[in-house]
């Protein structure tokens, strides 16, 4: 969030140049603070919401899945997880929908350890900066590549991305991380999960935090 005013100017300038050079493109935003920068890109481009969205949830889900694999001693290939909400400390791993080999996570790991993994996932970016002195690059690159493949190859994959919500999950007029169907047209559908009460409350709190950062923007 510390980057919001600096990156707003950069993202606005880059988006304007992209629009001039490639008016029919699909724009995937990776710059932080991700949710707010999606608003900047949408405003600067004037493009429909289906063609302007952000990469965050795939990265956050990969981190959460990695920690689950380490904790359970099972293959990360068998972990099915989903992280929603803002890309930051307020992200919401959907524990109720998280399984390992089809087994619910809560049957394998204590609530205390799950909470520790959720917190580490939320602060994973900061952990990497502390260790390396710079932000992550491999995992964000791999996540963006998955999104590009899904669009270019019209794969219709369901992936967690930062999309513009208009009433879905009870949130209106805000970019938030949610599962979407990605294909040739960009975000072709927003998938609404059945959330537990505490998860829905956490998502609402996350949206409040994102809206606060978006409120700092100069752009509408």
Residues marked active site are found at 87
Q: Which two tokens stand for residue 68?
A: 């689950």
Structure tokens given for 85: 């909400």
Q: Are 162 and 56 in contact (CB under 8 A)?
A: yes
Dihedral angle over CA of 24, 189, 161, 105, nearest 10: -160
| Phi, psi (degrees; rounded to nearest 5) at 47 | -80, 160
Torsion of CA 34, 39, 43, 49, to 10 degrees: 100
Q: List C-alpha distances in Å: 105 to 81, 89, 109, 134.
A: 9, 21, 6, 32
**C-alpha torsion 179→68→94→55, nearest 10:** -30
Would you say 40 and 8 are in contact if contact means Cβ atoms under 8 Å apart?
A: yes
What CA–CA distance (Å, rounded) separates 71 from 95?
Answer: 15
- Cα separation, 43 vs 88, whole angstroms: 22
């Amino acid at each position: 969030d510390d980057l919001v005013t600096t990156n707003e100017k950069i993202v606005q300038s880059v988006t304007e140049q992209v629009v001039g050079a490639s008016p029919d493109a699909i724009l995937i935003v990776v710059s932080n603070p991700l949710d707010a920068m999606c608003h900047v890109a949408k405003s600067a481009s004037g493009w429909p919401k289906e063609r302007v969205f952000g990469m965050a949830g795939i990265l956050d889900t990969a981190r959460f899945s990695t920690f689950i694999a380490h904790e359970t001693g099972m293959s990360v290939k068998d972990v099915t997880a989903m992280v929603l909400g803002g890309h930051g400390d307020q992200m919401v791993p959907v524990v109720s929908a998280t399984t390992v080999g089809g087994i619910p996570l809560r049957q394998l790991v204590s609530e205390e350890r799950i909470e520790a993994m959720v917190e580490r996932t939320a602060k994973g970016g900061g952990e990497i900066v502390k260790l390396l002195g710079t932000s992550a690059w491999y995992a964000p690159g791999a996540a963006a590549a998955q999104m590009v493949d899904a669009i270019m190859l019209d794969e219709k994959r369901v992936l967690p991305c930062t999309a513009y919500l208009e009433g879905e999950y009870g949130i209106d007029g805000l970019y938030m991380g949610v599962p979407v169907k990605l294909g040739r047209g960009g975000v072709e559908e927003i998938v609404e999960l059945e959330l537990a009460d505490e998860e829905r409350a956490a998502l609402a709190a996350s949206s409040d935090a994102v809206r606060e950062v978006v409120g700092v923007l100069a752009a509408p």
